Amino acid sequence: MILQAINAYYRRKQADPDPKNRLPAFGLEEKEIPFVLEIDAEGQLVNLADTRSGEGKKKIGQRFLVPQGVKKTSGVAANLLWDNAEYVLGVDTRGKPERVVEQHAAYRARLDALPEAARADAGLRAVRAFLDAPDRTRLESHPAWPEILAVNPVMTFRLHGDLELVCQRSVVVLASEASGEIAADQPTGICLVSGDTAAIERLHPAIKGVWGAQTSGANIVSFNARAFESYGKRERQGENAPVGKAAVFAYTTTLNHLLARDSRQRMQVGDTSTVFWAEEAHELENLFGEVMRDDPAQGTGALTALYSAVQSGKFALGDADTRFHVLGLAPNAARIAIRFWETASAMELATRIQRHFEDIRLVHADYEPEHLSLFRLLTGVALLGKADNIPPNLGGEVLRAILEDLPYPAPLLNLAVQRCRAEQKPTYARTAVIKASLNRLLRRSPSTEREYLPMLDPANTNPAYRLGRLFAVLEKIQEEASPGLNATIRDRYYGAASSTPVSVFTTLLRLKNHHLGKLHRGRAVQMETLIGEIMGSLADFPRQLALPDQGRFALGYYHQRQTFFTKPETTPTPEGETK
């Protein structure tokens, strides 16, 4: 199902009327090539072109369309008319001269194996002439030569004066496409993706760009141990899950395109590399990433557009019923694990995303962002607020809960409560996580407890919520009675008050009488009244609060604190005055 959806997206991109948006045709791939050897018709080196841009170690080579690379293993295997410097030039960069001789011979053998019509091409003749007598002196005098020896970069050829590479000439492209046809000794079978009889690919190209996976790439479909093989298919592992050459090319090319560094259809959620696409051109392909990424400038506008689409029932581009796919990939040694796979109509998915943002909506300070990104929620519950401390599976599980409209994973609420206790402070992000987690649990429970609002709810009689409010009031009284305190009761008592209320609240209530005596009489009466209102429904102080109730305590505390710093709204009277 997943490979079929990816294959369908490849067909869609192949039919795109804009050539810039099309994916490479069968037998070709996009490759970053830092250096291009420019040669004349006689094979003499004219220039060694450096295609890279940027500075220092962040230099990025230009991307070119080239014949699809071979599956690299520990053996020697050369690509057609492009490869690293060891293959192309036969220079030893790692102290293995015997292996370099084999690599260069394999590179030349690929050229010799081309059809006669291709070998007669002017570009191919020039390349062969260069390989027969390379201009070593000119190469070694180039400023980039020491770097070439150090990093063994990818290289290719271009005829001087041409815009296209030699490997992009029509005869080479035709030869690359022909190589994908069924060979006499190649097994055929029913492709599990297309359902057609096709040449079965033995080794699938690597998928690159998955965060944490091997830099050389990893596989979704692979077999390399007896336990994964069946019916004696050990020599041709691909037969265990038969996928045709064309389908393999389609899904690997598409995934590498979606996972590229500059792709707008990917995002990183914890250790999960997430890609998304629609079955046809759709507005949600742009909105999804923008509302989820940590980019307030674009996120606010995208979220407004998403809310508008849900309310109106239509998108600016694409139908509401168009299928939308989200795929989460995570590293697993030499393989890629499918962390989650969600497919739904665009409108259904947009509605679920809107519900998530409604769940985490919370009153906050003016300088804080209106909408919390998924990244801010996860770092908010992580130790020291660092992304490196987010538990490995948490990001993917939270995103799955959003996409499938499920309760958030239990560790999310646990971490939020634990960080509140450890740091003695319910922050905006942590409290938003607590509110959202509690509300999603309440919707699926038989309890009559009301859902929690984004702002203070004086009518909520939950004891833990009221205790949190009471703690915030007692802290405020202390702050006003002794301005400029370095530490308040929150710094000393928050952990105990939120877990074992009976052990501290009697002490805090005695202390508040001393603090009230320092306040102006009117303010003291006001605070006494507020305490009485909060404690009106409290029969007694509980001995212990379970973890969900500790979350309610944090939410009540946060809500009450926010009211102390929110200016009351004024309402106009018929005479134009305010009250």
52-81 pLDDT per residue, tens:
988 877 788 999 999 988 877 778 899 999
Average pLDDT over residues 35-45: 94
The DSSP code for 244 is B
Mean pLDDT of the chain: 89
Average pLDDT over residues 156-163: 93
> For residue range 252-262, what is the model confidence (pLDDT) as tens digits?
999 999 999 88
Using DSSP bridges, classify how beta strands 82-84 and 154-159 pair: parallel, antiparallel or unpaired: antiparallel
Helices 505-516 & 521-535 angle (0-180, nearest 10): 160
Q: What is the pLDDT of residue 308?
A: 95
Q: How far apart are CA 439 and CA 555, in angstroms?
A: 12
Q: What is the pLDDT of residue 231?
A: 62
Residue 108 in this model has a pLDDT that exceeds 50: yes
Q: What is the pLDDT of residue 45?
A: 93
Q: What is the pLDDT of residue 57?
A: 72
Q: Where are the domains of the chain?
A: 27-179, 276-331+338-454, 455-571
**For tokens 């692979």, what's the residue?**
222
Q: What is the pLDDT of residue 172?
A: 86
Amino acid present at 74: S
Cα separation values, 101 from 86, 148, 429, Å: 9, 18, 59
Is residue 302 within 8 Å of 291, Cβ to Cβ?
Answer: yes
Structure tokens at 64: 């070119």
Q: What is the pLDDT of residue 226?
A: 63
Residue 210 in this model has a pLDDT that exceeds 70: yes
Q: What is the pLDDT of residue 240?
A: 76
How far out from the chain centre does Cα 567 lie?
39
Q: What is the pLDDT of residue 69?
A: 86
What is the model's pTM?
0.81
Q: What is the pLDDT of residue 568?
A: 57
